[in-house]
Amino acid sequence: MEAGLPANLTRLGRKNSKTTKPGIVHLGLGAFFRAHGAVYIEEAVNASGGDWGIIGVSLQSPRMRDQLAPQDFAYTAQELGPSGETLRQIEIVQDLLVAREDPEAVLAAMADPEIRIVSLTITEKGYCHDPATGALNVSHPDIKHDLESELPVSAPGFLVRALQRRKAAGLPPFTVLTCDNLPENGKLVSRIVLDFAQELDPDLARWIEEEGRFPSTMIDRIVPATKQEDIDALAEKTGVYDAALVQHEPFRQWVVEDDFVPAYGTGARPDLGAVGVELVEDVTPYEHMKLRMLNGTHSSLAYLGYLAGYETIADTVADTMFAAFVKALWRREIMPSFEAPPGVDLSAYADALFGRYSNPAIRHRTWQIAMDGSQKLPQRILGTVRDNLAVGRHCQGLGTAIAAWMIYVGGTDLTGAPIDVRDPLADQLKALSDGGETPGEKVAALLSVKQIFDQDLAAEIRLEIEAAYMLLMADGVRTVLEDLS
């Protein structure tokens, strides 16, 4: 028994020896990847073999390493369905490095010739880019540091510095496989990497562009934040303490462009197709479907639901007014804005999404989804608005969601209570909101943030956002949604 645990508990440990050698380094080994990508990869190894163990990297905090290391990097994935739960122990993670403690160890792992894929779930802000344009933010403090130092701190810095080492050693590059919710995420990270490499060494940039691969992906699974009471409840039920528990819904989907570094031949990737990953030529239609229909409504429900006093998405859509609102949002504004992927019925997809949102076992907090909105809005909502306006279709529902975000980042809810806003631009956004005396002035100030809003689009939507902002402040969320629905 581990010291510090109650007498009736043991610490979770690995059941099987580490027979799979590492083939993947994953930057940002948080709950989502451990509940999604890692599960698929372990299944692929079990189905078809191959050395595809995962070395995780935490770019900032040692917390995840400290949770996983005493368990030899094993953890439990707890599936929460409406009718019950299932437990599964995941053992594909082989090690976890902390970049801020030992950046050299991270670079050495990424430069190892056995590593053929470097994957990422670092959230939108981890790319150190301008969300409105997709370009690398060369004035970002981490990027400025990484261009001057061979021991980086940012994800783009680690990618380029590791690729630089591989080129110098005469090795092929690794495939960069981003798993974050960004449109055309492979093209985005390719641009960021090439921008960085161009600043560093144009010859390196040319080599990466010619030899490297950056497949786009679409990932989908609802993974709520695990709370200490969830860990304690599982320990009481099983007698085993797992500090790194992840919880997730039954549904999952992973669509991947089958474009990996060709130098490795058939050893370029795990046999993902054997375990249900959809390997496609172009992931864009799937990205639009998921980013707009799931993530767009998730964010809309998060801001409006939080302002209405609801803690979770399930609580929010249990309100018939919110249920009618989100269904109207899909039907009127989101589904008409893009082409469905081949063979996909968007109405059936929307029905399935609503069923997932309604799952009472998944306590996905509106506050959690509302985090980092400045990075999420361009991809999840503003692209849909732009495409609709281009064909003369107005977006009152999404405009109301944008107005709700503006109230939220102002730091005070509709009852006057403070909001704990977590966003890279939180201080700037609050200062802009506070600087406006009228709703119109607040809206105009927030629309002026070029990192979020294309200024031509901002000019087009200003009056509609201002009207929605005033209605929310005057009448409250439910009354506004009743009028919309």
Condensed to tens digits (0 to 9), the pLDDT of residues 266-312 reads 999 999 999 999 999 999 999 999 999 999 999 999 999 999 999 99
The CB density around residue 404, as the number of other CB atoms within 10 Å, is 28
Q: Are 124 and 131 in contact (CB under 8 A)?
A: yes
- Name 408's Cβ contacts closer than 8 Å, sequence gap at least 6: 303, 306, 307, 370, 373, 419, 421
Tally the residues of the chain: 485
CATH-assigned architecture of domain 284-484: Orthogonal Bundle (1.10)
For residues 58-77, average pLDDT: 97
Coil, helix or strand at residue 120? strand
- pLDDT tens per residue, range 220-253: 999 999 999 999 999 999 999 999 999 999 999 9
Determine the Cα–Cα distance for residues 381 and 384; give it in Å rounded to an integer. Answer: 5
Q: Per the structure block, which two tokens stand in for 117?
A: 């894929």
Q: Are 163 and 176 in contact (CB under 8 A)?
A: no
For residues 418-424, average pLDDT: 97
Determine the Cα–Cα distance for residues 115 and 175; give it in Å rounded to an integer. Answer: 9
Confidence of residue 4 (pLDDT cuts 50, 70, 90): low
Predicted pLDDT at 17: 85
Confidence of residue 351 (pLDDT cuts 50, 70, 90): very high
Q: Are 433 and 445 in contact (CB under 8 A)?
A: yes
pTM as predicted: 0.89
Nearest Cα to Cα of residue 93 among 162, 152, 24, 44: 24
In the chain, where are the structural domains located?
Answer: 10-280, 284-484
Q: What phi and psi, each to the nearest 5 degrees, are found at residue 248?
A: -155, 165
For residues 211-223, average pLDDT: 97
Q: Do the two domains 10-280 and 284-484 of this chain adopt the same fold? A: no
Homologous superfamily of domain range 10-280: NAD(P)-binding Rossmann-like Domain (3.40.50.720)
Determine the Cα–Cα distance for residues 307 and 224; give it in Å rounded to an integer. Answer: 20
Determine the Cα–Cα distance for residues 122 and 33; give it in Å rounded to an integer. Answer: 10
Q: Are 278 and 247 in contact (CB under 8 A)?
A: no
Predicted pLDDT at 485: 76
Strands (E), 167-276: 175-178, 217-220, 240-241, 246-248, 253-257
- pLDDT tens per residue, range 154-186: 999 999 999 999 999 999 999 999 999 888 999
Transcribe 329-384 into DSSP letters.
HIIIIIGGGSPPPTT--HHHHHHHHHHHHT-TT---BHHHHTTTHHHHHIIIIIHH
- pLDDT tens per residue, range 111-135: 999 999 999 999 989 999 988 888 9
Q: Are 100 and 155 in contact (CB under 8 A)?
A: no
Quick one: 87 exposed, middle or buried, by C-beta within 10 A (0-12, 13-18, 19+)?
A: middle
